[in-house]
Amino acid sequence: MCLLLLVLLVAAISFTTSATEQLRPCGDGKLGFASYYGDHMVLQRAPQRAVLWGCGPLGTQVTVSVQGPTTQEILVSVSNETRMWRVILGPVESGGPYNITAALTNHTNSFVTLRDVLFGDVWLCSGQSNMYFEVSQIFNASEELALASNYPHVRFFMVGLDKNDIEQQDLDKVNIPWSVPNEKDLAPFSAVCWLFGRYLYKTLNSPVGLVESSWGGTTVEAWSSHTALKKCGLDHKDENYLGPTENSVLWNAMIHPLLPMTIKGAIWYQGENNAKYHRDLYSCTFPAMIDNWRTGFHKGSGGQTEIEFPFGFVQLSTYEHSSTDNGFPEIRWHQTADYGFVPNFRMKNTFMAVAMDLPDDTSPYGTIHPRDKQDVAYRLTLGAQAVAYNNFSTFNGPFPDLIFPDNTYVTITFDQELSVSPSEDIFEIGCSSNSIFHILGFKWMPASIMNPIRLERLAL
């Protein structure tokens, strides 16, 4: 047992606010933690430091104590302006359980305690309906739910659906409080988020905390701040897109309150609703949103969340048969900031899970909502291992390094070894470089694999 004593004599602690922010989330001034802290939660492990904040009576001091495998104690004053207190804990290694208590100094029997707290890696999961898609709806849902109790160190929390015209300091709605996995509570939770966390836990053998903040049928604009949208020329309201698709309303209510939380990274599954709305701006709005989230979480956590924290996303899955004009191909391209791959110069420290080969023509939720979320989550996990944890793994590609045509074959050299079965319809070749290729009615022609020259090269 070791004791870390930190005494902070602070006259007033407040979050950075603007004229448009919610200024008083602590209206009654009662002692307590913010809404997204609770029993069974996971806080970010060392080397990062977890942030805790809450409310208290004016003119008081709060002692925050951490009891478990290690201990620490911090004294902080309640802000006279906002009635809020905030502390940054010392680094805590992976593990637990811990009890964390906030107590009014020199007041007996005035305290609140978070019990069974673990320290591990915290991941935010956001987006629209395919991220909101529940564990209970996926292939083999019963089997997946039955496994829940085998992973007591993967904890989850779900933000309630909410929107607001101004940036909020705390969540107004919580759908699922921090929970230890069980069939009942896990059933309505995000399948992609849960499976990602579960697979990640098996590679890390360290607690994982999952925070879902998603809403079906929403646009990237709704999840973006006014500052981010302004960079893409979208600093005006579109009267045709209101409700949860209106500019910034989900950022204000469902992301901004989370900014003080120290996180390891985020995963994202969205883009379907932008196939018909500001589609050609997505190569600006999506990277701008990522940049803004990174800045917001870094500043909100007092520098504890990395300024370029890992950000993973799912490339849009299939939707309609033989369609090239439903907006999905363009969004897939724009999801990479028009590079065609990630990470890239514009989207550093990112990773992508491809889902085009995972169609679900018989999905009762529509083909736009494929039920195979296991493969999607596994591919995200491979990306996270490589980008977030620097563990070598192949999560991209194969990507063509060199294309050499001659009179008989087109030889393609890839950046990694291939395992290829002979086929006549895996590849297609368009025999024109003219920009009006499609308009003139030229067709893509099947190109069968003629000869796998080496493990990295194919002749078509």
Spatial separation of the C-alpha atoms in residues 403 and 400, rounded to whole Å: 7
Cα angle 408, 414, 418 (rounded to 5 degrees) comes to 100
> Can you give the pTM of this predicted structure?
0.89
433, with CB counted inside 10 A (0-12, 13-18, 19+), is exposed
Side-chain-side CA neighbours of residue 250 (13 Å)? 26
Spatial separation of the C-alpha atoms in residues 86 and 37, rounded to whole Å: 13
What stretch(es) of the chain map to CATH 2.60.40? Answer: 3-117
CATH code of the domain made up of 119-387: 3.40.50.1110
Cβ neighbours, 10 Å, residue 370: 23
Side-chain-side CA neighbours of residue 6 (13 Å)? 16
Cis peptide before 181 (omega within 30 of 0): no
Give me Rg for the CA atoms of the chain.
Answer: 24
Pick the CATH number of 3-117 from 2.60.40, 1.10.30, 3.30.300, 3.40.50: 2.60.40
Cα angle 116, 122, 126 (rounded to 5 degrees) comes to 125
From first to last of its 460 residues, the chain has per-residue pLDDT tens of 444 333 333 333 333 333 344 445 687 779 999 999 999 999 999 999 999 999 999 989 999 999 999 999 999 999 988 999 999 999 999 999 999 999 998 777 799 999 999 999 999 999 999 999 999 999 999 999 999 999 999 999 999 999 999 999 999 999 999 999 999 999 999 999 999 999 999 999 999 999 999 999 999 999 999 999 999 999 887 777 778 999 999 999 999 999 999 999 999 999 999 999 999 999 999 999 999 999 999 999 999 999 999 999 999 998 876 566 678 999 999 999 999 999 999 999 999 999 999 999 999 999 999 999 999 999 999 999 999 999 977 777 777 888 888 777 788 888 777 776 666 666 666 655 555 444 445 556 667 776 665 555 555 5
Spatial separation of the C-alpha atoms in residues 266 and 348, rounded to whole Å: 14
Cis peptide before 69 (omega within 30 of 0): no
What stretch(es) of the chain map to CATH 3.40.50.1110? Answer: 119-387
